[in-house]
Amino acid sequence: MILLQNSGIPIYQQIADSIREDILSGKLKQGEYLPSIRSLAKDLKISVITTMKAYEILQEEGLATGVQGKGFYVNAQDTEMLREQHLRKVEESLGEAIRASKIAKLSGEEVQEMLRILLTQYEEEA
């Protein structure tokens, strides 16, 4: 896990985002325990409070559950819920791209062409 100190995104959010990605991609499986709060804090050289906040975000999102004395584990993921979460992430990313395109004064056609090119590149890589 790589944390960026000057990204403008709080460390706890970066941790939650990284673990969320691992859960949604299937890298972390149902029932698998997340690293302990203390060990993750030690490994990342950050506060236990920061790590706890990241895990609380994942719990609020229904991705993980905390068990007293055992830590946090990955919840079973409903495939429809996973799809919705991926759709939400795509919408957020596209929204950011559209905002950036407005700042760059790109037309809708230019943005669509850029998206077509990127889609073609990713299809060729797959």
The predicted-structure confidence for 60-81, as pLDDT tens digits, reads as follows 988 999 999 999 999 987 767 7
31 with 52, same domain?
A: yes
In a domain, 36, yes or no: yes
Q: Is residue 87 part of a domain?
A: yes
| E-assigned strand segments in 42-83 | 64-67, 71-74
Torsion of CA 105, 106, 107, 113, to 10 degrees: 180
**Count of other CB atoms within 10 angstroms of residue 69:** 5
- Indicate whether 46 belongs to any domain: yes
Q: Tell me the residue range of the domain where 95 lies.
A: 79-125
26 and 67 share one domain: yes
pLDDT over 80 at 85, yes or no: no
Same domain, 68 and 83: no
Whether 115 shows a pLDDT value over 80: the answer reads: yes
Mean pLDDT (the chain) is 90
Q: Do 92 and 118 fall into the same domain?
A: yes
Tell whether 67 is covered by a domain: yes
Instruction: Provide the CATH number for the domain around residue 55.
Output: 1.10.10.10
Q: Are residues 113 and 86 located together in one domain of the fold?
A: yes
Measure Cα distances from 39 to 47, 48, 51, 76 in Å: 11, 9, 10, 24
Q: How many CA atoms lie within 13 A of 76 on its CB side?
A: 1
pLDDT-derived band at 5, boundaries 50, 70, 90: confident
Same domain as 68, residue 17:
yes
Residue whose entry in the numeric block shows the structure tokens 């499986």: 29
pLDDT at 1: 80
Of the pLDDT bands very low, low, confident and very high (cuts 50, 70, 90), residue 98 is very high
| Residue 34 domain flag | yes
Domain count, the chain: 2
